[in-house]
Chain A
């Protein structure tokens, strides 16, 4: 099994925990790096390996507080990559957490939901 991906959050980058062994997949915090692609590159590399032998069920919990538009684009691409898990007959779903009244994060979740072909659950806190 592939090692877990554990990226600590900073002022402008999110915390990422992708832990296949314990079946925990979580993205949280803020994402507003100036060069988003640079930050996301190692995550895509990890994902490429994971897709080859994924867990039977993968649930990504997104608990983001804020992200900029270039991060939005890379999150979308990340979800599209995760979607490939379905090709080998495994399951993928996303749970999108947002604070009650946080219309920006709620709206961003609904936008992802509308363009992705993945079970996508909105969870209001």
Chain B
């Protein structure tokens, strides 16, 4: 995972209130946490709270489709191939849910027919079809009956947007996007219309696959928002079969980095905004974080990180113990020793870049491998 990816993603999703991208394994535990996190986010946005139930239902439906119809690669392409993609995003008062999963190429025709059929029907016709399928159709061997698609169309009140994208000789990626709008008729003067296309989401997924990125989260970095994220990571670590000590180490690094964003980022519209990404590189985990900082703090931060990077393990330990004994606490709730403690546990120096965004703010990217 490249350090430049942080700004690449941040720049594209900076207008969003929140954006969560996930590219990986879809177990029940993980999907539950993804829903929990999305619900938490929805609850915190006034214009969205009314559609919480609907959004949760639609997300669950998407996940079930991935779990039921998604194909595992069984090492056919490459051992780290991931099974599914999921995106939730809120921009103004519009909520997007995009999912993607692999399907076998011969199954495309049938799925496409189902989608075309669903999209050709109006509200009442969908209701009739729903009943028909419920009463008559045999349940397919994967437990679905096309009901999911019908329900998605009914609940969202929109045509289903979908794309099939070539993946390999045997498989294609099936993407599907649902758009939820809060119930209001009139547009505010000067308001732009929704511009987020499914192709853009597919572009994000491609980049996540190329760089082996598991999770990207842009949004609020308060403790309540961070916790479900940590749980998703913990769940993924369980599956990695790593020993307890390295799991704890990665957890520790994440906590420190996420709390650093929370303490040091520029607060925009009452929210602590930042982005973080978790990826894999061979046997290591890679964590990227990005957040806006005030220009006047840039020099001090550079000095701090450069100093940390100039020290060897023993010197870092000395510095850590000195800071531990230092009676002065910074006034932001932190202890000023987070980065030092992280640096002791990395396989390479703290990689960082700072780029000026405007007169007042710069974007700080951190990239660590553990």
Question: What is A's interface to B at a CB cutoff of 8 Å?
Answer: 11-12, 32-38, 66, 68-70, 72-74, 76-77, 99, 101-105, 111, 114-115
Contact with A along B180-196 (1 / 0, CB 8 A): 00000000000000000
Given A37-B329, A72-B324, residue A32 in contact with residue B255 (CB < 8 A): yes
Q: Indicate if B36 sits at the interface (CB-CB under 8 A).
A: no
A-B complex: 10 closest residue pairs judged by Cβ atoms: A35-B333, A70-B335, A73-B335, A103-B245, A69-B341, A69-B338, A69-B337, A104-B248, A34-B223, A70-B334
State the CA gap A99–B321 with chains docked (Å).
23
A101 touches B333 (CB 8 A): no
Which A residues are in CB contact (< 8 Å) with B249?
A: 103-104
B324 touches A34 (CB 8 A): no
Which segment of B75-83, B256-264, B292-300, B304-312 sits at the interface? B256-264
12 A-B residue pairs with CB within 8 Å? A11-B227, A36-B335, A37-B333, A66-B252, A66-B255, A68-B252, A72-B337, A72-B341, A101-B245, A102-B245, A104-B248, A111-B321
Interchain Cβ contacts within 8 Å, total number: 78
Question: What is B's interface to A at a CB cutoff of 8 Å?
Answer: 222-223, 227, 243-245, 248-249, 251-252, 255-256, 259, 262-263, 317, 320-321, 323-325, 327, 329, 333-335, 337-338, 340-341
In angstroms, how far is the closest chain B Cβ from the Cβ of A109? 13
A68 touches B259 (CB 8 A): yes
In angstroms, how far is the closest chain B Cβ from the Cβ of A49? 21
A73 touches B324 (CB 8 A): yes
Which B residues are in CB contact (< 8 Å) with A104?
A: 245, 248-249, 252
Determine chain B's interface SS by DSSP, over half rule: helix
State the CA gap A96–B160 with chains docked (Å).
58
State the CA gap A111–B321 with chains docked (Å).
7
Name A112's closest neighbour in chain B (CB-CB). Answer: B324
Which A residues are in CB contact (< 8 Å) with B321?
A: 111, 114-115
B338 touches A34 (CB 8 A): no
Which A residues are in CB contact (< 8 Å) with B223?
A: 12, 33-34
State the CA gap A74–B327 with chains docked (Å).
10
Which B residues are in CB contact (< 8 Å) with A77?
A: 327
In angstroms, how far is the closest chain B Cβ from the Cβ of A114? 7
Name B259's closest neighbour in chain A (CB-CB). Answer: A34
State the CA gap A74–B336 with chains docked (Å).
12
Interface centre among B223, B321, B324 (most CB of A within 10 A): B324
Partner of B324, one of A12, A66, A99, A111: A111
Given A111-B324, A115-B321, residue A34 in contact with residue B244 (CB < 8 A): no
Given A34-B262, A69-B337, residue A101 in contact with residue B329 (CB < 8 A): no
Given A11-B227, A72-B324, A73-B324, residue A38 in contact with residue B245 (CB < 8 A): no
A115 touches B325 (CB 8 A): yes
Given A70-B338, A104-B245, residue A38 in contact with residue B333 (CB < 8 A): yes
